[in-house]
Structure 1
Amino acid sequence: MVLSRSEAHQRQKRQRSQRTRKLLVVNLALLVLIGILAVVYVVQRQDNGSKLDVSGNGNPTPTQGAAGDEGTNGLPQSGNSSAGNGGNAAGTGNVNEGTPQEQAGSGSADGDDGSAGDGAADSEGPDGQAPDSSGNGAAQTNANADTEEGQGGNAGTPQDSPGDAAAVTGDGDEDQVNLSFTGDILLAASVEKLMLKNGFDYPYAKVLPYLQLSDVTAANLETPVTLRGTPAPNKQYVYKASPDALPALIDSGVDVVNLANNHTLDQGEEGLLDTIEYLNKAKLPNMGAGINDAEAFKPVIKEANGIRIAYLGLTRVVPVGSWKADKNHPGLAETYDPTRAVAAIKKAKADADIVVVMVHWGTELMDMPNADQTRLGHAYIDAGADLVIGSHPHLLEGFESYKGKWIAYSLGNFVFSGMPDKRTADTGVLDAACTAAGKCSLKLHPMRAVQSQPALLEGEEAAALLKRISGISIHAAIDAQGHVLSKE
């Protein structure tokens, strides 16, 4: 039986998880054995020490022993390790980005559907300029286990080992699932030129461990995948990606993609249907769009470690009303009015242990959530969502702790064309260790993209980025190791 890339990747993830669990069992068994041997040793020393010298007064006196010098405490050692050097990002020299768009529209900015009650037009911003050349891909890791909300653990440097979301809870309970998330991934325009020159795996080369080691990794796919279609009229940035880019995306570790955003119909309904067909053929689960509204609002359900996770895709950025899915035509799962989204969340909660909402919303190039984001984020959690993961502003926005649940307002650009605002190069991978009851602990791995290739930050650059995001978070803060802590 020939496995698809997605199936092979899932099998590899399961095998890694099984090996980790087996290693844990072996370590625990060794610790128990060491403890038993230590007890036996102490008892024998005491027995030997109880052989008595008979003094002249007839009182027994024990012989002198050297007890207490065993030097073994039975505790596991911290085991610091280095992940090696991820490579310095090639930040010198500008990439010839070409024109800002694949297909030139009328030059008007992409905007929300005015009929939906949002009058502010969103502009994509020129993507024809190279990003900031700063950034360092070197990754120094630390294998020490983190504890609940980052307290009490020897966290080491800000760059703890990738995929260590499992350690965030610190309780050693296997009844949890490790999830990872990225921001927007664009596979067209200048990114496509870089991939054609350097290989389709180029964008992910320096961050593979952060995408591959979790149980499920999800991203927002910011482009239609099609070889045909009609470019959307009156739209400044219109994209189209080749299906040849999908195998490398799957091999990178991405398991689920959200299609609910303002570019999925850049090539019309024909492009949308092609996108879904190509993703389905590649066995890459997708949500947020469909042949009708029922399919668009249908969640993707993944299972890991016996825990079911439902992923819903939503967007509050719809260029024109016809992009919205309804019972009669294809489109996106929109959330201007949260009624349909709330119903979908409640239904998903009945079918899964954890509900993740991935939503495209907010104002571009703003690092603070607007009123609609906070209103909708709260409504999703009130309806039963356990995690809300946002995208669209092109910037990292802060986190909010709300009723014991988490909202990540925007994970920014992950793989995207360069933009003039240097902040758009700041990005990261968010890890979430979640129990079956929906309690999640978060950790942000700070990164910076250079020429559309994200790489881990370290030292002062990492600290500065984490501090900035912490400062704009709501009822939450981020420590020096990237743990997101509740301040409710």
Structure 2
Amino acid sequence: MPYSRVQSKQKAKRKRRFPIVAIAVLAVALIAAVGAYAAFVAGNGDGGASPPPVSSASSSASASAGPQPSGAAASPAESSEPAETPDSAPTSEPDDEGQGEPSDEETPAAPSPSTEAPAATPDAGTAEPSDSAPSGASVSLAFVGDILPASTVGKLIEQYGVDYPFKLAKPLLESADIAAGNLEAPITTRGTPAENKQYVFKGKPEYLAGLKNAGLDVVSLANNHTLDQGWEGLSDTMDALDDIKLKHMGSGADDKEAFEPVYIEHNGITVAYIGVSNVVPDGSWKAGPDHPGVAETYDTTRAVATVKKARELADIVVVMVHWGNERADTPKDAQFNVGHTLIDAGADLIVGSHPHVLQGFEAYKGKWIAYSLGNFVFTTKQAYSKTQDTGVLTATCTADGKCRLKFDPMYAKASQPGPMAPEQAEALLARLSKVSYGASVDSKGRITAK
């Protein structure tokens, strides 16, 4: 069941409202009791006339105040006992992360008995929280490019172990609250190889442990290699990911499953991940009502609808898109068009893959597009190539969808990405700044809008 901001707001509202009502009831009871006592004193001072029965005064006060919960109209002696309102000052309940509620959400303590009404707290029982997350809360999202646990990388894994490709990048990935990447190969021991393709990949299920151990939490399967081994291979891939509890999106047994977002909550903030591809080798790879495949975005209608739906359920909407031309330093028109369309629909962050090289960033309407994060763990054929320039993009986002971006440059040697030498990193960041749009990248990797 997807986490909903609406559900969270209703829960927080109920938690605050009941203690306020209890305080109000206690105040009415105190005023009624004091009134009865005052009437008694006044009666004795007027020549010893018999005081009105206490029950009559209590009934009058109750009638003027309207119906009250059972036990609210107590006598003066009873009203001084705080035990009569046990829920008036609870300690803050732990949330799903085991942390207390924020201070502005805590219920005020019960006042001591007094003849005065409690201090006014305007709208205390009706004000909605501005968001489901604690005030000032944020979530850090790490992203990497293409991951290929197959081919030459598979041979290296066989030789050095499943953790080998991610050994040097693991600390950075683990430091993020949620980490995501593009899984560029079917994971299966079966399948029928796709025809008329130059590169057809296939990785072993045990290789996925390396991704999980490195700190990855979610992967997109919407790309041009997901069906390299047919539906049988894709089905096995999804099952293998489920077995190790690594979330995935962008593919499915039909279009409904393929377009379904992944929702992950952290620190009270819900992030929706959507996977779509603008690179589909064959029309038969597109998921349909009764047909397995990938979520495509040649026609953005379905992707836009998915983003709009996710916008209603999540605080932050991320779309991971496979698009562009291989080894091109700059985006093509379709990337601009699709990226802008998805942000206009409600996405907060677009992260691209497929070109195998890094492309620039764009600040668009207060949101962000990373056009290509290039390869992360992939095969290499040359001693040095731009396809080995890579890195980790980290977006630190608040519940209102505002994100601060930072890119940590890395260089992949023998399919193992690691931190770049300072001079090399500075040169790469300068190049990325030059090819960005409405944005700049400084020497620390911080990405800002111009």
TM-score by length of 1: 0.64
Residue 455 of structure 1 aligns with which residue? Answer: 418
**2:97–2:267 CA contact under 8 A, matched in 1:** no
Residue 434 of structure 1 aligns with which residue? Answer: 397
The question of 1:333 aligning with 2:304 is answered: no
Deviations 1:427-448 (A, max 9, x none): 0000000010000000000000
Q: Give the secondary structure class of the aligned counterpart of 1:474.
A: coil
1:376 pairs with 334, 338, 343, which one?
338
Q: Give the secondary structure class of the aligned counterpart of 2:159.
A: helix
Residue 423 of structure 1 aligns with which residue? Answer: 386
Residue 246 of structure 2 aligns with which residue? Answer: 284
Residue 182 of structure 2 aligns with which residue? Answer: 220
Larger Rg: 2
* Identical amino acids, percent of aligned pairs: 56
Pairwise CA distance, 1:367: 1.0
1:388 pairs with 342, 350, 366, which one?
350
The question of 1:239 aligning with 2:201 is answered: yes
Deviations 1:330-375 (A, max 9, x none): 1000000111100000011111110000000000000100000000
Q: Give the secondary structure class of the aligned counterpart of 1:464.
A: helix
Residue 355 of structure 1 aligns with which residue? Answer: 317
Residue 88 of structure 1 aligns with which residue? Answer: none
Structure 2 unaligned spans of 5+: 1-95, 104-133
Q: Give the secondary structure class of the aligned counterpart of 1:444.
A: strand
Q: Give the secondary structure class of the aligned counterpart of 1:266.
A: coil
Mapping of residues 245-256 of structure 1, within 5 Å: 245-256=207-218
- Partner amino acid, structure 1, of 2:216: V
Per residue, is there more helix in 1 or in 2?
2
Query: Which stretch of structure 1 is more off in the superposition, 458-467 or 354-363?
Result: 458-467
In structure 2, distance between residues paired with 1:190 and 1:183: 17
Q: Which protein has greater RCO, CA pairs closer than 8 Å, 6+ apart? A: 1
Q: Give the secondary structure class of the aligned counterpart of 1:231.
A: coil
Deviations 1:389-409 (A, max 9, x none): 000000000000000000000
Pairwise CA distance, 1:281: 1.3
Pairwise CA distance, 1:173: 6.7
Pairwise CA distance, 1:458: 3.2
Residue 275 of structure 1 aligns with which residue? Answer: 237
The question of 1:474 aligning with 2:437 is answered: yes
Residue 169 of structure 1 aligns with which residue? Answer: none
The question of 1:312 aligning with 2:274 is answered: yes
1:180 pairs with 136, 142, 157, which one?
142
In structure 2, distance between residues paired with 1:384 and 1:306: 20
Pairwise CA distance, 1:466: 0.3
Residue 408 of structure 1 aligns with which residue? Answer: 370
Q: Give the secondary structure class of the aligned counterpart of 2:393.
A: strand
Residue 57 of structure 1 aligns with which residue? Answer: none
Mapping of residues 93-104 of structure 1, within 5 Å: none
- Partner amino acid, structure 2, of 1:350: E
**2:351–2:372 CA contact under 8 A, matched in 1:** yes
Query: Which stretch of structure 1 is more off in the superposition, 427-436 or 274-283?
Result: 274-283
Pairwise CA distance, 1:199: 0.7
- Partner amino acid, structure 2, of 1:429: V
In structure 2, distance between residues paired with 1:331 and 1:339: 17
TM-score by length of 2: 0.70
**2:359–2:371 CA contact under 8 A, matched in 1:** yes
Residue 10 of structure 2 aligns with which residue? Answer: none
Pairwise CA distance, 1:301: 0.2
Deviations 1:191-242 (A, max 9, x none): 0000100111000011111110111000000000100000000111000000
- Report the CA distance shift for 1:18/1:329 in structure 2 as closer, same or farther (over 3 A): closer
In structure 2, distance between residues paired with 1:477 and 1:271: 41
- Partner amino acid, structure 2, of 1:186: L
**2:143–2:179 CA contact under 8 A, matched in 1:** yes
In structure 1, distance between residues paired with 2:254 and 2:201: 22
